[in-house]
Copies of this chain bind each other. A is one copy, B any other.
Amino acid sequence: MVDVARRARVSLKTVSRVVNREAGVAADTAERVCAAIEALGFRRHDGAAHLRSGSTTASVGVVLMDVADPFYSALTRAVEEVAIGHGFLVFAGSSDEDALRERQLALALCARRVDGLLVVPAGTDQRYLRAEVAAGTPVVFVDRPGVGISADAVLVDNAGGVRAAVEHLAAHGHRRIAFLGDTPAIYTARERLRGFEHGMAAIGRPDPRLIEMGPHTPRSVQAALHRFRSERHPATALVTGNNRITVLALRALAAMRGWHPAVIGFDDLELADLLRPSLTVIEQDASELGRIAAELLFARIAGDRRPIRRVVLPTRLVPRGSGELKR
């Protein structure tokens, strides 16, 4: 910027004025400055500007599980959309369900002075964010609530969704319903299991042998399904706890001949409607989740000091065929 000033034969401040489109610069002076900027290929250093002005960095950080998972990538995209609308940029990182990585990412983002943080907690303790929140960085948790810290959270009705799925299967005559969930270390997995147990309790006693929590691999899913099938009273229906598990289960089922349980998956899949039978799912709206969380975050960034909020979005059962197979 000094170079530009020298070349345009004006002071530093005048260049700054031109760059920031401040009023009160003579047209010909501005002209000269612009020419110098052009000639020197000058580009303002945003970081330095923020440092001095103490203004915002116009960026938000997002820590999620895995950008490559369709659920989280849809969420990220929605956040990005809201951010762009506010003239903000998005820093994103995947924790890969690793508490340490979540923490490192979140703190690194804070050290960069992001104006706000959106976090899908992987670990079971977010106390490390207390200092940041106290220092004024708004944090909004998405998909799962933060633990050990009071902050906004935007979630979906996990339990209600699974419960509705169980009721739906029961209405089609099923009593031997199996559940294939993710590791109970994950909040959503616990909630979905709870919904399953509630739903089952309404039609009798849930059979623990028909419940298998993760983490799952293709092999573990395959093994669980074989067990469900070889029970004295085999399962006639299956509820899967997330889109990863649904895919593994469908693949394993396709390889098993002569057993066709009804299936309902948690979270939609892109080609679900093209499978035969089409896949019935418990739909959760990742975009909406991201949009609402981002808007809440921007409200906080803008100074909203209202009490902590916990928003729970509904889930919706989408019957397509696989969940309507009779017992």
Contacts and interface: CB of A to CB of B under 8 A. Distances in A.
Nearest to A92: B92
B80 A73 contact: no
Given A46-B113, A254-B274, A89 B91 contact: yes
Contact of A271 (B89, B91, B271): B271
Nearest to A271: B271
A172 interface: no
Contacts of A251: 273-274
Interface in A105-126: 105, 108-113
A47 interface: yes
Given A108-B89, A271-B247, A77 B67 contact: yes
Interface in A41-92: 41, 43-48, 50-51, 57, 59, 66-70, 73-74, 76-77, 80, 84, 89-92
Contacts of A94: 77, 80
Interface stretch (A26-34, A127-135, A156-164): A127-135
A89 B93 contact: yes
Nearest to A48: B51
Given A93-B90, A108-B89, A135-B41, A74 B68 contact: yes
Contacts of A76: 67-68, 73, 92
A110 to B, nearest CB: 6
Contacts of A47: 47, 50-51, 57, 112-113
A301 interface: no
A21 interface: no
A67 B80 contact: yes
A12 interface: no
A269 interface: yes
A2 interface: no
Interface string A234-273: 0000000000000100110010000000000000011111
Contacts of A273: 251
B90 A91 contact: yes
Contacts of A110: 43
Interface string A163-203: 00000000000000000000000000000000000000000
A131 B275 contact: no
A43 B93 contact: no
Contacts of A269: 270-271
Nearest to A114: B89
A122 to B, nearest CB: 14
A276 interface: yes
Given A73-B68, A94-B77, A270-B271, A132 B43 contact: yes
Given A66-B77, A250-B274, A43 B135 contact: yes
Contact of A131 (B43, B66, B113, B247): B43
Interface of A: 41, 43-48, 50-51, 57, 59, 66-70, 73-74, 76-77, 80, 84, 89-94, 101, 105, 108-113, 131-132, 134-135, 247, 250-251, 254, 269-276
Given A44-B111, A251-B274, A254-B274, 19 more contacts: A43-B111, A45-B113, A47-B113, A48-B51, A66-B77, A68-B70, A69-B73, A70-B270, A73-B73, A84-B93, A89-B93, A90-B91, A91-B91, A92-B92, A247-B270, A250-B271, A250-B274, A269-B270, A275-B275
